[in-house]
Structure 1
Amino acid sequence: MTDLLPAIFFGHGNPMNAIGQNAYTKEWHKIGKQLLRPKAILSVSAHWYVPETGVTVSTNPRTIHDFGGFPEALYQVQYPAPGDPALARRVQQLLAPQEVRLDESWGLDHGTWSVLKHVYPAADIPVVQLSIDETKPASFHFGLARKLAPLREEGVLIVGSGNIVHNLHTYAWGRHPQEPYDWALRFEAAARERMKAGEFKELINYDKLGRDATLSIPTPEHYLPLLYVLATMQQREKVHFPVEGVDGGSISMLAVQVG
């Protein structure tokens, strides 16, 4: 396959999106219809955040229900996409000399399957997950991700899954609809401007962007998958935002598509 596939960051939000039908899930499904079909997917999810770099190598990755307190129906969801050991080893090769462990114990966590269940509901495209090393700074992750860019020319869809703004302490759990907080809107708008301009330095050093960034990114795991997508951007490519919205006042559902 010689066509250059895009790379996409999804704001995955509440795990209940996996079994819901709403404006966000409808747009995710539309994206799957519009994209050139990939031969495989490499997913970087906020929910595999561990002190090492690992990549799943199982041929049949399990569906991980890595959450608590939700309706039983959510725990019954399975996303039986196959794995792709050859892609896992290709990722390992591209990221050398960084040590990348071939992992057989992890599978597909909800950051991956809650979105892909709508994008590719047939679960017939192989999926490999890459972990986020929690001991490394954002600059490390951006640099590592740049090495993954060749995969876009090899028929692999690179997916990041998290949320640009993700503050659960201020989220309106089960209450009346909450208007987006001013700080969430300001940070998302500032991030958009920098992405459209191709100016990623301040997004990498987001901790220097002030109080809005501190409130929007109290912990980095949901933000870092965005950098894995932005790092694969090629010259003259543009950034698009196919999904927009803020859930519960403090969770940005923004999707970011490169290419």
Structure 2
Amino acid sequence: MSDLSILKTLSSTLPVQEQLMPVLFIGHGSPMNGIEDNEFTKAWVEQASTIPLPKAVVVVSAHWFTRGTFVTAMDFPATIHDFGGFPQPLFDVEYPAPGNPQLATEMTNLVDHSTIQLDHDWGLDHGAWTVVRHMYPMANIPVLQLSLDYTKTPTEHYELARELSALRKKGVLIMGSGNMVHNLRMMNWEMIKGGGYDWALEINDQFKTLILNHEHQQLIDYKNLGKAALNAIPTPEHYLPLLYTLGLQNETEKVTLFNDKAVGGSLTMTSVRIS
């Protein structure tokens, strides 16, 4: 996309198109995936190659947990290095994708049963840029982030996603970024290259079955799925982005899984595509 094309995108409302954009949930894992070439990042690149070129990307990241729901609305969001203890090359990364303030404003007008506020201070955290920089390395597609309101129930997050479904008809790629199973306190670094505890594999399999069978209500009510689910989701921020992806699914759409692997004992990289 040329600079002129970007400016036109920034200054105009996106037109409606016939084809629905796919929706993704990405298990983003370690920030190091942002600079590594591994099995997970290669799958992100492969997904991008089979998706129509988006007019914009909206990421619901586990790492922007707020009171109220916000969407980034600046022309050029900053690259946020929201982690510590990693090698300097990871901190040196800049992902200079443009934003799209007009699209952000349009998103605030789409919702009737909730409120989305414009944000001019956040940027792209590692739940967004570590993934998107592999998928769209030229940084020439506008990228926005949508925050997770910690005062909302899982049902309210799911319903908010449903209100954003019109974006799919405008060529916007919506992506949840987190991890279905994410318990850093129970991680085993001897298993970091691969492997999961029995409980982690069990609940991850249960999540996958429910996703493939379109049984969203049980996934919304994950606290009723037993102790394994509570171990997998000690805090909700890495799981909630999955509900945004599922909330955007139509009844007839196909679900495919990729990067279906456990690492570190208590984390799964399992990712979802709806199309």
Normalised to the residue count of structure 1, the TM-score between the two structures is 0.97
Query: Which runs of at least 4 in structure 1 moved beyond 3 Å after TM superposition?
Result: 173-178
Change (3 A) 1:6 1:176: closer
Shift of the alpha carbon at 1:97? 4.7
Shift of the alpha carbon at 1:96? 3.1
Shift of the alpha carbon at 1:175? 6.8
Task: Specify the code of the residue in structure 1 equivalent to 2:186.
Answer: T
Normalised to the residue count of structure 2, the TM-score between the two structures is 0.91
Where does residue 214 of structure 2 map in the other structure? 198
The DSSP-based 3-state class of the residue aligned with 1:123 is coil
Please say if 1:218 is aligned against 2:234.
yes
Shift of the alpha carbon at 1:150? 1.1
Moved more, 176-185 or 88-97: 176-185
Where does residue 4 of structure 1 map in the other structure? 20
Task: Supply the distance in 1 between the matched residues of 2:76 and 2:226 (Cα, whole angstroms).
Answer: 43
Task: Supply the distance in 2 between the matched residues of 1:233 and 1:176 (Cα, whole angstroms).
Answer: 32
- Among candidates 79, 86, 89, match of residue 63 of structure 1: 79
Change (3 A) 1:170 1:148: same
Where does residue 43 of structure 1 map in the other structure? 59
Task: Supply the distance in 2 between the matched residues of 1:91 and 1:174 (Cα, whole angstroms).
Answer: 44
Shift of the alpha carbon at 1:254? 0.8
Task: Supply the distance in 2 between the matched residues of 1:3 and 1:176 (Cα, whole angstroms).
Answer: 39
Where does residue 14 of structure 1 map in the other structure? 30
Please say if 1:235 is aligned against 2:251.
yes
Task: Supply the distance in 2 between the matched residues of 1:46 and 1:216 (Cα, whole angstroms).
Answer: 15
Task: Specify the code of the residue in structure 1 equivalent to 2:59.
Answer: S
Task: Supply the distance in 2 between the matched residues of 1:181 and 1:127 (Cα, whole angstroms).
Answer: 35
CA-atom RMSD in angstroms: 1.2
Change (3 A) 1:139 1:70: same
Q: Deviations over 1:135-164 (max 9, x none)?
A: 111111001111011111111000000000
- Count residues with an aligned counterpart: 259
Shift of the alpha carbon at 1:177? 4.5
Aligned-residue sequence identity (percent) comes to 47
Contact 1:95 1:144 in 2 (8 A): yes
Please say if 1:78 is aligned against 2:94.
yes
Structure 1's unaligned 5+ residue stretches are: none
Where does residue 42 of structure 2 map in the other structure? 26
Shift of the alpha carbon at 1:244? 1.5
The DSSP-based 3-state class of the residue aligned with 1:93 is helix
The DSSP-based 3-state class of the residue aligned with 1:237 is coil
Shift of the alpha carbon at 1:179? 2.5
Task: Supply the distance in 2 between the matched residues of 1:97 and 1:179 (Cα, whole angstroms).
Answer: 42
- Among candidates 156, 161, 166, match of residue 150 of structure 1: 166
Change (3 A) 1:175 1:19: same
Task: Specify the code of the residue in structure 1 equivalent to 2:185.
Answer: H
Shift of the alpha carbon at 1:251? 1.1
Structure 2's unaligned 5+ residue stretches are: 1-16
Where does residue 186 of structure 1 map in the other structure? 202
Contact 1:2 1:155 in 2 (8 A): no
Where does residue 100 of structure 1 map in the other structure? 116
Q: Deviations over 1:182-216 (max 9, x none)?
A: 11111111011111111101100101100110110
Task: Supply the distance in 2 between the matched residues of 1:251 and 1:79 (Cα, whole angstroms).
Answer: 26
Change (3 A) 1:113 1:22: same
Task: Supply the distance in 1 between the matched residues of 2:111 and 2:63 (Cα, whole angstroms).
Answer: 21
Task: Supply the distance in 2 between the matched residues of 1:176 and 1:91 (Cα, whole angstroms).
Answer: 38
Moved more, 87-96 or 7-16: 87-96
